[in-house]
Structure 1
Amino acid sequence: MLQTSEPSTLRNTLLITAFDVQKLFFQRRGVIAISCFSLVWLFLLIYPIHGAVELLNNPNFKDFIIGFAQMSQTEKLLNWQVPELTVYWVIALYLYPMFSIIITADQFASDKQRGTLRFLLLRSNRDSLFFGRFLAQMLIQTILIALSLLATIFLACYRDIDLLLPSLSSSGFIVIALIINLLPYTALMSLLSLHANSARQATLYAVLFWMLTSLGLAILNYFFPVTEFLQFIKPGVQLSDMLNTQGAGVLTYSMLPIIQAVAFLALGRVYMQRSAL
């Protein structure tokens, strides 16, 4: 029985993942979401990224930034070979987590409210549905990251074709780092979406989670400084440290988000198995 059930679980998980990804490209709602995402990044490419590149290419501006901030905080960031990727890295590092909370908020909430979640569970087990939806959201976000990064590389090559190889060599590390950073956000939304009755409610739960966690940990750390390590409960606590990295260095802080994602997924799985859906 074990030999037949395990492959079936894996197969169902992959089928659910593939189905959810297909919805992004073949259903009206998914096409609208991609269009909105594309317009946002088109605006970012034309204005913040393109405009900031001109400043980064100015030696006087670099000297000003280095003198204004601590050298250790800006040295690696300002020495990226492709300025477009420098600005992309800064924007994407903080913007994609917010995108992730919004676009992954409806993993289960709408299906639960409409009653279709029970219909799906009649044809698949709970593990397949839970992890299939999570993998689908991660794959969708990977596609979006790749598209935005390709557009940034195109912008850099349009300015200087010699930047193609440096762009490609740096972009691989950027994609991996951004995907790893989004793991805990997506896993947390998997958990919250199971409890919420709508995507909006799941998003509200996420905001409350960050507000209450930040406030509670700040108060706890004030009275008991030894509890400072509990800050690592919050997803994204490592983002400010990752800012001044480049190349393979962007993967230095990858272990924390992976651990956070595993913890949230474990909680989500327990909730999925024990709740009356």
Structure 2
Amino acid sequence: MKGVYIILLFCLFELSASDKDTGITCLIKYLKDHGRLEEDFPLPQKPAHAQACDAVVRLVLPTIEREFLSKLSEKESIKSDCVSAQLKKGGLLDYLIKEEVIESSTDLSNQEVMKKLAETRETIKGILDNAAVFCNSDATYAGLFDKYLGLKNESLSALQSHYCMAKYVIDEEIIDVGNVNINPSNIDTAAANCDTVISNAKAEVEAQLRDKYKEQNLSQSKINCIMRSFRRNKMFENSIALGALENLEISLETKRENKERVENKMESFVTGVFGCFMG
């Protein structure tokens, strides 16, 4: 569920634009404290103060949970109240965060990363399967967790979207993944109408972002300032680049290098947002 990662990423940036390692360190400590991660899992070299970690747990995790529950409730086939309770009981969000922490680690060998990812994803699948059975709910989760459930039943529109997003971020040189197949499903690319797909997706993301800031009772001038920073720093493009990296069949090293480069670019957005509040 890529949305969880995007939510996590933005929250970490809000906490500290120049110190992303602090957020990762705090999440590693959180996972260890809750028995989700081995005690010997390597920490980033930069230490994290207890006060900073309290902020991560207090601000980041509730945001992830709130957005996650919202995604579930949008799907009519999911018995969201029951399923949400069971997924929380099983610790699903912790394991989704664990997956990202493992994938982001530069202190583990590729073999170790792949082994730990496989184990974590198997745990996630078990939690999802058990919740669906217990609640007599949609076992496919309406496509939210195909990656973990091993399902490949995407609609044509979803396949077109994946193709267009990947093509766009590669053509715009936002990511560099070499000669990779961006159309493994062999859809008719001429019928994809990528310009419209990208334009509509960007408009939808910007509208959702505006709505979120309005819910926080920010002034219109601050919202306009934030949106200018959003566009100036190409946050839409960088965000879909992260999504494309999840879908493309590329090596772990290539994925990690591109993700780090994109994340570094995204930090300038937060600097711009800080300026909107200081002005």
Which fold has the larger relative contact order, with Cα–Cα distance below 8 Å and residues 6 or more apart in sequence?
A: 1
Higher helix share: 1
Is this a same-fold pair by TM over 0.5?
A: no
Q: TM-score, normalised by structure 1?
A: 0.29
